[in-house]
Structure 1
Amino acid sequence: MQVPLYQAKAEFFRMLGHPVRIRVLELLQDGPMPVRDLLAAIGTEPSSLSQQLAVLRRSGIVTSTREGSTVVYALAGGDVADLMKAARRILTEMLAGRNELLAELREPGDLRR
């Protein structure tokens, strides 16, 4: 039985739905990073980071290579970086709209607005 495209998309976004995974993807936009650097930048427990990296690796969003005793992670493709940039643009637009509403609410004057 084939999964409908909308369901596959929902599962994809659910997979991204963890703050550590998002942070890893943001950090990897600048290029491959060893686990120790990811760990230092994110500040989470090693076991938690390992678990989240495994989810990203299984999904095919990141790749890992071993360089001696160091494991280095990288984005599997440029589309993921584009997705992170698009998310930033969307959030910026959403928050800008909220700031405009907040400014309007703070304006003195007609309280019936």
Structure 2
Amino acid sequence: MSEHNLFEMKEDNILKASKALKAMGHPLRLKILCVLSDGEMPVMDIVSKVGTTQSNVSQHIDILREKGIVASRRDGSKILCSVADEEIINLLHAMQATFCPTA
């Protein structure tokens, strides 16, 4: 396999990666995604973990949902959120390993 083919990406994968990275470009959205990388969580738990207001978290979750990065569902009075795509979780784990290594 030539070196060029080794790094060739499908256009849809490039667009997906670009969209994900753009959405993660805001510090609060990245925090929300890091919190959700452990699994589904109610919005109010996300609020307590990221340390801002419910309104602010909800606005950023809406942006992530519009980009197809976060999924949400209602369970009684709670809104539960999760990362919509396993590839995003893999990307988050790679970023955590790079930027947040444990001692």
Same fold (TM over 0.5): yes
Question: In structure 2, what is the equivalent of residue 14 of structure 1?
Answer: 22
Q: 2:44 aligns with which of 15, 36, 39?
A: 36
Q: Give per-residue Cα distances to partners, 1:40-87, cap 9 Å, x unaligned.
A: 111111221111000110111110000011100011121111001111
Is the CA contact 2:20–2:88 (under 8 Å) kept in the aligned structure 1?
Answer: no
- The letter of the residue matching 1:54 is D
Unaligned runs of 5+ in 1: 94-113
Tell me what 1:62 maps to.
70
The 1:82/1:71 distance shift into structure 2, 3 A limit, reads same
- Amino-acid identity (%): 32
The reply to whether residue 72 of structure 1 matches residue 68 of structure 2 is no
Match of 2:56 in 1: 48
Report the RMSD for the aligned CA atoms in angstroms. Answer: 2.3
Alignment gaps of 5+ in structure 2: 1-10
Among 88, 95, 99, the alignment partner of 2:96 is 88
Q: Secondary structure at the match of 1:65?
A: strand
How many matched pairs? Answer: 91
Taking structure 1 as the reference length, the TM-score comes to 0.69
TM-score after normalising by structure 2: 0.75
Query: Does structure 1 residue 23 correspond to structure 2 residue 31?
Result: yes
